[in-house]
Chains A and B, each alone.
Chain A
Amino acid sequence: DVKVTQSSRYLVKRTGEKVFLECVQDMDHENMFWYRQDPGLGLRLIYFSYDVKMKEKGDIPEGYSVSREKKERFSLILESASTNQTSMYLCASRGRLNTGADTEAFFGQGTRLTVV
């Protein structure tokens, strides 16, 4: 079974703190994603990465950065946490089949971040 593991289920941080959310996958997937999910807005893509040291902005990258130094690990960084970044954060990974087609995305269990 594919396993995508996020470092924390629940996190409480203060405004202005630098926050690191870690995600590790064990299936050697090329693609990794960070989403945030808010009521009524669904999942919104923050950043994604299709290879080590590669990153692409998603739809809402402002206030966030990412790091992918190793294939299995994709980190989301909140440079200076603000209350409007209180949300559920979901990491996902996606591989590639021999046919060249991409697999479905597999999700971590989510990190519920509260910024106070």
Chain B
Amino acid sequence: RKEVEQDPGPFNVPEGATVAFNCTYSNSASQSFFWYRQDCRKEPKLLMSVYSSGNEDGRFTAQLNRASQYISLLIRDSKLSDSATYLCVVGYNKLIFGAGTRLAVHP
């Protein structure tokens, strides 16, 4: 079983849609949680950190459920520019990446 698992997608959604990505992790000692975004042929970049209380940044909301070892990312009012691969990342002394979920937003 992989340490961090994500639905690979692709998710094909129209502009304006709401889309949710889920991620599960296996190591209960994990201490830090992130969502990264990766555009084609580019390096991953931080989208947002994920906190136990949940956090929001504009159209993006991240949630963490430690008991279920589950992380989510909600994107509201999708834009064409949101098309990318979204990586779930879990850390303790090292960072473990999920394989990523592809999102394609179409007009």
Q: Taking the complex as formed, is B20 at the interface, i.e. its CB lies under 8 A from any CB of chain A? A: no
Find B100's partner among A42, A104, A108 (CB 8 Å cutoff).
Answer: A42
Asked if A101 and B44 sit within 8 Å, CB to CB, the answer is no
Cα-based distance from A50 to B93 in the complex (angstroms): 9
In this complex, how many residues of chain B approach chain A with their Cβ under 8 Å: the count is: 20
Asked if B99 and A40 sit within 8 Å, CB to CB, the answer is yes
Find A92's partner among B32, B49, B95, B100 (CB 8 Å cutoff).
Answer: B95
Asked if A104 and B43 sit within 8 Å, CB to CB, the answer is no
Cα-based distance from A42 to B2 in the complex (angstroms): 11
Q: Taking the complex as formed, is A28 at the interface, i.e. its CB lies under 8 A from any CB of chain B? A: no
Cα-based distance from A69 to B93 in the complex (angstroms): 20
Q: Which residues of A line the B interface, CB within 8 A?
A: 33, 35, 40-43, 45, 48, 50, 56, 58, 90, 92, 94, 101-102, 104-110
